[in-house]
Structure formats: structure tokens, C-alpha cells
A and B are shown apart, each in its own frame.
Chain A
């Protein structure tokens, strides 16, 4: 007898692991594939984020085009002018204003945002145009560069004429990117660029235009500029001047990208955890088939740790394969992302392969997969060798009481949390996400479980055999129906609830109430132009739903305290300005509500969109009756922290006017018409310098275009917006945003389908045995296929039921608490989604059960002993 003290080592364990895997390698790889999609998503997002941050770092000055930028809604005060001059360096100015553009190409017109800049801008970087044009040429003649969307909308080509104000400009091309602008901001009014040399001749720089002023500075030494400006914050705030530096711009961009990628990360994590649970479940079933092997090995003299080691080696090998595939896949996706998002980015994005990121993905993926597989493996160390004598005796399945299991779950949590932290760099965000994730998964499991239980009770007794049998399969032990439902449901829910929310917002944010309600607004009408505008409408037999005078004013005192005093306090309190929640809890008015310019009107009645909720609406008053009784919008009372009887002093173009809040109105903002925060009584502001807006209703897009063109001819400063184009732009924007998220959610769906495939494959043997038995008992293969079909269709049905239910609930809470709108369900989308889900599920199920009916029964029956 040879005594060997050390026994077999890792070499033997590895050999055994390899041998043991031989007959089921493909199957085993399938188990762990469900983790691939989540990992790929995370690796891709991580890579994307690195690339974006690199791009922002390396192109930082080109982002702004200068070292500092100042902006203001009104011309700078003398103090500001002298401050800017004091900074030294070079300076270039830009004017932005909203105006109508008339496109000769097809005669259409639309509100555009015009930017007139000087030839010295930008100091850093160059504008990118299509076709490439020289900026010298652009500034020399009356040329215009357009945002791409205008090209499509008005079928523009190079050389066409566009009328802006009183003069025509020749289209030089498309402005793809210009320093200082993000690509996403031009959607309300698409952008057009002209040289500032020709601004004067447009005649648009007159009273009533929405003009903003911008100055860009190139400094000799820009190192200390941030510090310098920081000390002057209150000075700028009081002068209502905005300041932006390269550093700030960079920080903001990174911040907003982090918010987007945080959300995407969350979805990636969901997919990963889902896949992980799928792996645990599949491996659990796989290993329970290996219990005899472990028992035999123990019987032959293997130490318990050694027996487990064999499968440990197997599952860690599998984890390596899965994480390799996932990281590779993620890296590949990362190279495609720039193709999709390049259009929205204010800088150039280049995907780069980072071996470090790949390595991190590989390690993390392996770790997570390994830990998830360890969960079902660890209890197997307790398998008694006695099993070989008496099968079925002593099942060590009890994962619940095993301290090792808790330890692994804890490690898993730490690993996930740690990686999440590395991805987001923000402890709170990460904590919130982790917590939210657990709550979501827990809740979803509970709902799935309830549905499963509920349906069981509802199944009628008299169903045909295949139906009863197929449905009963959902409830067999080890079938993991809840897991399948959660896995399949999660991705479905993300996609569907996003879509439903988008639809619900679209249907309500601006609603065409039909009848006499307006769907087009004409604004910036000078008092002397009003008659002409009304005449044009009459000629086209369009109604004047409302004609309202607008008077610009700012608040200067609130209950006898100067606004500056509030703002001083506010600036001390606000800090970085991002902790909105904290601010909300504080007493006192909000900064923006004090700072903003109010466009108020006066009239002697309430309109259809307004309801009086407190006080009395005063229709007429006289300038002598100070304080003037005014009506305030409900929401603003909170933001200004005022109530009935409170007093304010308005600065109306230099004139101080004291008012008292006499009534509070509720306003339906979701309509195309002029809505106001403050309504004055008639007889007070009638002589104040104001402009007018007119609301009308057009029957079709053609009439809208015709009216716009006619007005454009005579009074180019009069602008208009109409419901139809607003809706289409909002649809476009929301569509683009939701698309990115839905793309990520696709990974969750794929992970879900993989989990289902894994579950089906692991129960494949059981299904084969059953089908053989049924065939022995005389069932035809048609019946067996029928049973399988019913089972998977039932899973799909339940998953889509749970998914549909949760999606609607999620949409409801989003609408209720985030958007504060009632829920409108797009039932057609729900229906289509549910059917798609069912088909996908059934197909996945049937694909993974192929060949079940073809197994030779004899081999199965003889295999009884194992």
C-alpha cells in the first residue's frame, strides 16, 4: 500500500474539472452567458465615459472658444463694462435673438434663434461646416449658416435665400459644430448663424426683440480667472450677468454626462444582477445533478474540499469565459457609440481601446460571475458520502442556514457596490442606486409571485390535457418561474414604461383642445403693428382667440424689503446651486423667481384656461389706487413665498409700481396660448410701453405657413410658433433621449431571455424524462410539442402581464410625482409590447427545447440510476 501524505493536487482537480465538463460544455457556457449582456453594457458605458472625459479634457478650450464668456439679457451696465475691460486681453461680442426666418426654398418660415458673431470668434477651435467654408468669406458677404434640422425641414440647399428681418441672406452651408455651443440646445428655435457685420441691416435690433448679449474674452493669463470671478459672484448676480469659464463649462459637461451615464449604468447593473441570479439558478440546477458525483468521490476517499474544488475550477473557468466575452462585446459596442451620439456632442469623440478598462471589466465580470456561482456550490461541501448508499437521503440544499452563503452574498454586495462606486465616483448616487435596485428587484419578484399564485387559481379545470399540463409545468419544483418572470419582465418594463411616459407627456404637455382653442401664437407685435396683424388674420378668416398686451417688469421689493437683500442671503445659502432639495426646505422666495423678468398683461376678465381659487379678481383699477390689486398664478405663490394681501413693488422700465396680491389663479399651462404669472387690472398699465401677442387657430399647416409668410413680408420682427411644429420637435427630442435609454434596456431584455434559456436548458433533462414517460404512456409528439408551446406561451403571457402592469404603475408614478400630469395610457403600445414579449418568450423557449421529442426513450430509461 502506498501511503501518500499530500494526495492529489490542483493538477488533478483541474483535470477532473476538464473531464467532467466534457459532456456538457456548450450547455455550461450557456448558463453563464446571461451575465454577458449586463457586463457588456457596463464595460461599454465605462469606456464611453472615459472617452468623453478624455475628449472634454483635451478639447477644453475649444468647448467655450474663449477663456471667459459673459452673457446678459440686457445691455451691460457701465459697471460691468468697466469690469470686463479691466480683465484685459482680447474681446469679441455676439448677439443672439429669436426671430422668424423665411426660407425661399419652399416658402416656409419658422422661429429661429439667430446668432451674430464677429470674425475674431472663436479664439480656440474652428467652426465645422458642411461644405467646408472659410470664415473670411462668411463674414464678408450676407451669408448664413444653418443648423442641419432646418435643411431638412425647408429642403434648403447651398445658394438658397433666407430672409431674416428685412434682408436676405445666402445659404453657405450647414453649421455642424461651433465652439461654445452644445448640439442639443437648438431645438425650440433652430439656430442660424450670420456675421455680426450684417446684424444692423436686418433691422431686428429694436425694442421688443428677445435679444441676449454675449462677450468672449481671451486672456493673457487665464490660470486665476476662476478664483477671480468667484469673488464677484454677487456683483454679477445683482447685475443679472451670467459668467462661464473653460473650467466651469468642462465641469458642467462632465456633470451632465455623468448624469446620463449614471442612469445607463443603473440599467447595466440591473442587467448584470439579473444575469447573475440567472447564473446562480442555472448552476444550482446543474450542480444538483453533480451531487452524486461528489458523494461517490467522497466515498472513494476525496476530502470534501477537494470534491468541491473540481466544480470551483469549472465555474471559475466559466466565469472567465463569460467575462471575457462580455468585456469584448462591451468594448466593441463602445466603438459604435460615437457613431450614434456624435450628433449630440459639442466636441469630437474618439473611441479608444483601453487595456486597463478591459482588464477591469474582465476581473469584475469574473468576480461577480464566480461569486454568483459560488452561492449554490458552497452548500455542496456538506454532501454526505452516504448518498451513494441511499440516494435522496440528506439533501444539503439548505442554502439559507449556511453562514458561508451569507458571507458570499456580502462579498457580492461589496463587489457590486465597489464597482458601482468606481463607475460613478459618487457615494450617494451609488447608495441610492444600489438601494433602489434592490427595492425594484424585490418588488418585482413579489409582484411576479403574486401573479403566479393568482393565475393558478384562475385556471379553469376543464381545459384540454396539453393546456393543463403545460400550465402545471409553471408550478413544478425547480422551475424558477418567478426568476423567469422577473428576468423577462425587467427589460420589458424599462422599455415600455419609458415609451408610455414619453407618449403620455406628448399627449398632454401641449394639448390641442379643439373647438375654439388656439394653436398658434403670434408675438413680439409692436403696438403700431397690431392692426395689421389682426387684418391679416381676418383676411385668412382666422379667429382672434386672444390679443394680449405684454409688459416687461421685474420685482424690486417684496413686502417692503428690497429684492437685493433676499438675493444676498440667497447667494450665501445656495452654495454650488445644485442642492435644490435642501433649498426647497428653506423658508423664503426662490432666487430665480426674484431675478426673472415677468411678462405681465392686463385685462378685465379671466380666460378659459384660468380658474380663480382664492380672493377676488379685480377687473379694473386706476394708477392712483396704489397698491394695485393683481392676480398671481398659484404655483408662483410657493416660489415667491407669498399669499393673499402680500405686497410687491414692480420695476416697470424704470417706473416703480406697488401692487397687492388680490387673487390667486390656477392656470392650465398645457395649451398653446399666452399664460401669465401676473394679471393686472385694466386701466393701470394701458399707457405703459408694451408689445402684443395674438393667439389664433389655424385649420391646417398650409394656412399657418401662409399667414407666417404674409406677416414676414411686412413685419419681419413678428414671430410665431404653432402647436404642430412644437409637437414634432418635442417628439423628436424625447424620441432621441428615450432611444439611448431603450438601447441600453435592450441588454436587459437580452439578459432576461438568456436567463430564461439557461433555466430551460437546466430543466431540459427533466423535460426529456417527462416527455419519454408521456410517450411511453402513449402521448404523440404533437401533444408534447403542444405542452411545451403552452408552457412557454404561458410564461410569456405572465411576464408581459406583470411587465405591463408594472410599466403602467411606473408610468403613473413618473407622471404623478415627476411631471405632475395625469396618466394617459397608450394602450396600443402596451398591447404591441405584450404580444412582442410573448412571441419572443415562446420562440426562446421552443428554440431551447428543440429535439426533446426526438430523444430515444431507451437511453433515458436505462439512465434511471443516475
Chain B
């Protein structure tokens, strides 16, 4: 059963002077609980595709189904609801809320669902990523690797059905990257979440079940590297 289905998707950015066609007739189907990675040179449209799949942006044409929700037919507020229920995120630049402590950052997705009594779970997750003693610290008081680990905890706290990660280790050095990657895969395995990973890192891509490449605006499957 596929959890994400992308059909004939086009995405064109219109600027004042001209039009930039980024995605042209993208078709993609991702199985539930599978792991896949998306490769492609810089500027090829990886982030754009991820944004569309996660309901952060709208395609120019085509349809996208996420766990049977028709994203292309949903309103902004419906998309928000879908994200909260189904989707987890990890970003290259962490994107923690600067005014909230580590623990509070992790709790936000649950609180958005109206579940405010899950502190224990958040603490457990933070401990799991090695930050058991940093609950009350604010993002500026954490290193990049630590911030990304908080982001990981936040991504899994509400047990999403699919997790999007856009170059999660792009801003981190080698050792730290290794640790974060390991945590990402471990947590993903434990939760049985579908993982869509955008990366430049071939070694990382090899750890996933399927590898896709964006080439000239379309997605191709890479069987072997």
C-alpha cells in the first residue's frame, strides 16, 4: 500500500521577469514504512518536491495523495491538520522555536493536538537522543548537533506516519552527522515511520530502500549506485 502518491505534478515558479519550471511531470509512489532518499544536484528541485509532498506548498498542476488525503484539494487549514496528524519534519537548519526550551519545542506537536499531558514521553525521547539533562535549555544555548537532536525528538513525538528530512546533516560536521544519522534511522525503525530523505550524501542514500533522482524536472528511480 502506498502512503504517498505523486501524479503528473508540475511546479513552475513565476517571478516578475520570467517563469522557472522546476518540476515537470513528476510521478512517484512511496510504500508505507519504507525508507527512500532523493538525490539531485543543487537547484534541481528536491526541496520543492519535499515541500509539495508535505503540504507546505501547492503544485501548479497534478495531484498528491498523502495517506489518502488529497493534498491538492485541501484548504490551508486542512493541510495544517494533515501535517499535524501525519507528518514529521527535520530540516537542514533545525528550525527550533527560539523562544521555547528544548522540552517545550518537542511538546509543541502534541499540544497542537490538544494532548498536553505527555511530558513524560517528551522527556523520554529527549533522553533517547542524549539530551536528558538539557530539557530547560533554549536553542541558542545548544550546539548545532544538539539542536538537530531536539528537532529529531520533535519530529517523532507525535508518531507521524511519514517523516520528511531535508538534508538533516547538511549543517553538521562529520562526527556529529554520524550520530544524528544513526539516531534518525534508529528512531525511524522503532516507530515504523515512512522516511523520505533528501540528501547529497551517497553513503546516507545507500542506507535507504529506494533511491530517486531528480533529473531535468522529473524523478527517476536509481536501482544501483
Contacts and interface: CB of A to CB of B under 8 A. Distances in A.
B94 A865 contact: yes
Contacts of B174: none
B98 to A, nearest CB: 5
Tell me which of A292, A306, A866 has the highest count of chain B C-beta atoms within 10 A of its own C-beta: A866
Contacts of A4: 113-115
A299 B93 contact: no
Interface string A269-303: 00000000000000000000000110011111111
A859 interface: yes
B83 to A, nearest CB: 4
B139 A301 contact: no
Given A293-B99, A384-B57, A389-B51, A8 B113 contact: yes
Interface in B96-126: 96-100, 104, 108-109, 111-116
Given A4-B113, A12-B114, A19-B100, A301 B94 contact: no
A557 to B, nearest CB: 82
| Interface secondary structure of A, over-half rule | helix
B71 to A, nearest CB: 13
A783 B85 CA distance: 53
A304 interface: yes
B199 interface: no
Interface string A1-40: 1111011110010011001111110000000000000000
Nearest to A293: B97
A388 B85 contact: no
Given A20-B100, A866-B139, A300 B108 contact: yes
A232 interface: no
A395 interface: no
Interface string B39-57: 0000000010011001011
Tell me which of B80, B81, B140 has the highest count of chain A C-beta atoms within 10 A of its own C-beta: B80
A1 B95 CA distance: 25
A461 B116 CA distance: 60
A253 interface: no
A3 B85 contact: yes
Contact of A301 (B95, B96, B109, B143): B109
Contact of A7 (B57, B97, B112, B154): B112
Given A301-B81, A389-B50, A2 B93 contact: no
B47 A389 contact: yes
A152 interface: no
A865 B104 contact: no
Contacts, number: 115
Given A22-B99, A292-B95, A865-B93, A300 B104 contact: no
Given A20-B100, A389-B56, A300 B91 contact: no
Nearest to B171: A865
A781 B154 CA distance: 41
Given A389-B47, A859-B140, A296 B95 contact: yes
Nearest to B50: A389
Given A301-B80, A303-B77, A388 B108 contact: no
Nearest to B13: A393
Contacts of A866: 98, 139-140
Contacts of B63: none
Contacts of A296: 95-97
A863 interface: yes
B77 A304 contact: yes
B188 interface: no
A12 B114 CA distance: 8
Given A8-B111, A8-B112, A388-B91, A863 B56 contact: no
Contacts of A300: 83-84, 89, 108-109, 112, 154
Contacts of B144: 862
Interface string A833-849: 00000000000000000
Contact of B85 (A1, A302, A859): A1
Nearest to A394: B57
B112 A386 contact: no
Interface in B19-68: 47, 50-51, 54, 56-57
A796 interface: no
B114 A8 contact: yes
Interface in A389-431: 389-391
Contacts of A298: 80
Interface in A113-127: none
A4 B93 CA distance: 30
A385 interface: yes
B212 interface: no
B76 interface: yes
A6 B115 CA distance: 11
A577 B123 CA distance: 80
B140 A863 contact: yes
B159 interface: yes
B83 A301 contact: yes
A7 B114 contact: yes
Given A292-B95, A293-B97, A391-B93, A302 B80 contact: yes
Given A7-B112, A293-B98, A385 B84 contact: no
Contacts of B140: 859, 862-863, 866
Nearest to A300: B109
Contacts of A303: 76-77, 80-81
Nearest to A23: B99
Tell me which of A3, A7, A301 has the highest count of chain B C-beta atoms within 10 A of its own C-beta: A301
B56 A299 contact: yes
Tell me which of B57, B87, B113, B143 has the highest count of chain A C-beta atoms within 10 A of its own C-beta: B113
B115 A384 contact: no
Interface string A757-790: 0000000000000000000000000000000000
A388 B99 contact: no
A7 B51 contact: no
A12 B143 CA distance: 28
A6 B114 contact: yes
Nearest to A859: B140
Nearest to B155: A300
Contacts of A388: 56, 89, 91, 95
Nearest to B99: A20
Contacts of A863: 140
B161 interface: yes
Nearest to A22: B99
A2 B83 contact: no
A296 B150 CA distance: 14
B80 A19 contact: no
Nearest to B147: A865
Interface of B: 47, 50-51, 54, 56-57, 76-77, 80-85, 87, 89, 91, 93-100, 104, 108-109, 111-116, 138-140, 143-144, 154, 159, 161, 166, 171
8 contacts: A2-B115, A7-B81, A7-B84, A8-B111, A9-B114, A293-B98, A300-B109, A865-B94
Given A303-B77, A304-B76, 8 more contacts: A15-B111, A20-B99, A22-B99, A23-B99, A301-B80, A385-B83, A389-B51, A865-B93
- Give me the 7 closest cross-chain CB pairs, A-B, nearest first: A301-B84, A301-B83, A20-B99, A865-B93, A303-B77, A385-B56, A4-B114
